[in-house]
Each structure stands twice: as C-alpha cells, then as structure tokens.
Amino acid sequence: MPGLRTVAVVAGTALLARRALRRRIRTSPLWPMPALQEPVSGRPRSRALRLLVTSRETIAEGVVQLRLEGHDLPRWEPGAHLDLVLPSGLVRQYSLCGDPEDTSSYTVATRLVPGGRGGSREVHEQVRQGMEVEVRGPRNRFPLVAAGAYVFVAGGIGITPVLPMLRALPPGAEWRLLYGGRSRASMPFLEEVEKLGPERVTVVAEDEAGLPDLDALFAGVPEDAAVYCCGPQGLMAAVEERVPGVRLERFAPGARAAGNGAFEVELRRSGRTLTVPAGSSVLAAVRAELPDTLYSCEQGFCGTCRQRVLQGEVDHRDELLTDGERGDSMLICVSRARSERLVLDM
C-alpha cells in the first residue's frame, strides 16, 4: 500500500499535469480554430474546434468517457451530439452526456464495438489524455420537446443522449425510462440514472432478466406522451413497431439513407450503371464497384463522400451542404434520388 508521502506526491503531480493541460488550452496556437469553410448560402456550418482531452476514464465495461476541454464552447441542448474527428481522419458522432451549462468542456462516452467500422476501436486505443482532437458541432436532431409525458427507452450506450434529457425534465414531469443492457456492469451511468427516479426507472440487465418487456412499458402510456429511443437497431425497430411516432437517435451507417424504393445511378466517367436498393445507400452501391471511393462519417456530416451530380433530382438528406452546393452535388452516404435515375461525375 502506498505511504502518505507517495500519495501526496502522486496527487501533486496530477494537479500540476492538469494545470499544464489547462495552460496548453489557453496558449495553443490552434485555439480558437477558425471555421473550416464559410457557408456559401443556406444553413450555417458549425465551427471546427480543437479541444484537449483532459480526462479519459473507463466508466463501464467496454465504455470510455472523454472530457474535452476548450474555452467559450458553443452551447448545446439535451439530445445533441458532437462530431469527433479521429486521428485517422474518420468522423464519428457521439452524444453529449455532460452538463449543457458547462461552456468549458464537452463530455462524450463511447462503447468499444468489436468488429465495428473502426471508430470506437480508435477512440479506445488511440485517444489519450493530453491529446488534441478536432470536433464539429454540436448538432441536435433528437431534441427534447414539450409534452404531457415522456417515455424513454435506452439500450446500453444509448443512454448517453437520454441522460441530459432526464436531468433537464422539469420537476413534476411525468416520465418513465426503460434502460436495458447486456449486464449491469456494461451499462454506463447506471447508478446516476437509478437515482434520478427510482420509481420511474426500470433497469433490465439481459444476463439477469432477459429481454425487456416493451408491451408492458407502453401499456397505459398517455396519447400525448413523447417517446424517445436510442440503442441497438433491434431495440429501436421493436419500439418503432409499437410506437410509429417514436423519436429515434440513429448512428448506424446507412440508417438515414435507407428507404423510398430502388433507383439507378450511372457513373458517367467509369461507364457503369448501378441499382441502389431501398434498404441501402448510394455509397454502398458505389463502393461495391469502386472500392476506393472516399467516405468517413456515413452520416451526411463530414462531406468526404461528396460527388458532382450531372443529371437527376436528388433527395438531399445531409446536414452539411448549402443550398448552392446542392445545386450540383450530393453526399452519397445519405442522400438518395427523387428521380428514377441519377448521373454522377465519377
């Protein structure tokens, strides 16, 4: 066991390191970083910021929480997420789970997904305390609306956008939460969530109790209730089946690009014509033919997959391009066709 002197030295060293990190934030020539590109017209773009990782902590099995510090950071509302640019250039979205009033730091948590697309592995293996990372946002497509009552369903890491909502609910609000996960040890923020409303929170750990009973959860839910769900695809599909108007937060690739029937895409320079099925994206179809096609976030945020459109009417589903840019280009990871055929300059 360490002696008192050792403990004091370690604590002192940690304090000095933390002060040094804060000094680096104030003096970094990269801070504040200018906007990457000024908007041409239409919707404004969020600034890219370089923030310092001042803490990296394992908060549940396979879940790492990062605290990213900066200065006078853009404010956010519960449900918002941040785009994190990883060291390799991949862009991934993580829900903000800290305090929206704190303009000196953002907090995000990420679960390691073995066999995933590589983003979570990069966060877990390469993002370290003391590093600078680039972020964009925050953005919110999962906002907390005014409602007579609330039902939240969160699966595992899906609790991250829900947690700030629970903290923000007015006293006396009627709400309930179903929080599921593989095991209690793998569920982040479990203790805090349970304390927020022991009588309103149902925790279902699969290794103890199996799958959650969604029918029981939704029995007797008032018609004016707002229903929110974030978690694995299977859970979100099951909730949507029962509550078609549920508000979903999806981070899975291609989820926003699916739907609305199949269409054709001609790649004019390559001389190929592809069919994009209803359940898949233009990017997936193009990459099957041209595997070197660049992409990153697969969510319509980063712009890496942008392609010039020569013919056809685009169903734009991104959150990046300005109206002017939409005149002749599209982000093929999320956007689809309104016409039967698109012709791309690739």
What is the smallest separation between the CB atom of 30 and ligand FES, expressed in angstroms?
A: 23
State the pairing for strand pair 81-85/91-95. Answer: antiparallel
Phi and psi angles of residue 133, each rounded to the nearest 5 degrees, phi first: -130, 155
253 is a contact residue toward ligand FES (CB under 6 A) = no
Instruction: Find the binder of ligand FES among 62, 155, 161, 303 (CB under 6 A).
Output: 303
What is the smallest separation between the CB atom of 333 and ligand FES, expressed in angstroms?
A: 3
In the bound state with ligand FES, the residue whose beta carbon lies nearer, of 218 and 295, is: 295
Residues 58-77 contacting ligand FES, CB under 6 A:
none
Residue among 124, 111, 63 nearest 251 (CA) = 111
302 is a contact residue toward ligand FES (CB under 6 A) = yes
HSE-CB for 119 with a 13 A CA cutoff: 20
Residue 117 · residue 93 · CB < 8 Å = no
304 is a contact residue toward ligand FES (CB under 6 A) = yes
49 is a contact residue toward ligand FES (CB under 6 A) = no
Helix (H) or strand (E) holding 97: none
Q: How far apart are CA 272 and CA 174, in angstroms?
A: 56
Looking up tokens 């994206």 gives 281
Q: Find the angle CA(18)-CA(97)-CA(171) to the nearest 5 degrees.
A: 120
Residue 109 · residue 92 · CB < 8 Å = no
What is the smallest separation between the CB atom of 294 and ligand FES, expressed in angstroms?
A: 8
| 20-28, 40-48, 106-114, 289-297 -> range binding ligand FES (CB under 6 A) | 289-297
Count of residues that interact with ligand FES, criterion CB under 6 A: 12
Instruction: Find the binder of ligand FES among 86, 162, 305, 314 (CB under 6 A).
Output: 305
295 is a contact residue toward ligand FES (CB under 6 A) = yes
Q: How far apart are CA 120 and CA 116, in angstroms?
A: 8
What is the smallest separation between the CB atom of 335 and ligand FES, expressed in angstroms?
A: 9
Instruction: Find the binder of ligand FES among 54, 93, 95, 296 (CB under 6 A).
Output: 296
What is the smallest separation between the CB atom of 32 and ligand FES, expressed in angstroms?
A: 24
In the bound state with ligand FES, the residue whose beta carbon lies nearer, of 89 and 279, is: 89
Token representation of residue 218: 């939704």
State the pairing for strand pair 341-344/263-267. Answer: parallel
In the bound state with ligand FES, the residue whose beta carbon lies nearer, of 92 and 176, is: 92
In the bound state with ligand FES, the residue whose beta carbon lies nearer, of 49 and 91, is: 91
What is the smallest separation between the CB atom of 281 and ligand FES, expressed in angstroms?
A: 9
Q: How far apart are CA 215 and CA 242, in angstroms?
A: 8
Q: How far apart are CA 317 and CA 336, in angstroms?
A: 8
Burial of 166: CB neighbours in 10 Å, binned 0-12, 13-18, 19+: buried
Residues 223-242 contacting ligand FES, CB under 6 A:
none
309 is a contact residue toward ligand FES (CB under 6 A) = no
- Interaction site with ligand FES (CB under 6 A): 295-298, 300-305, 331, 333
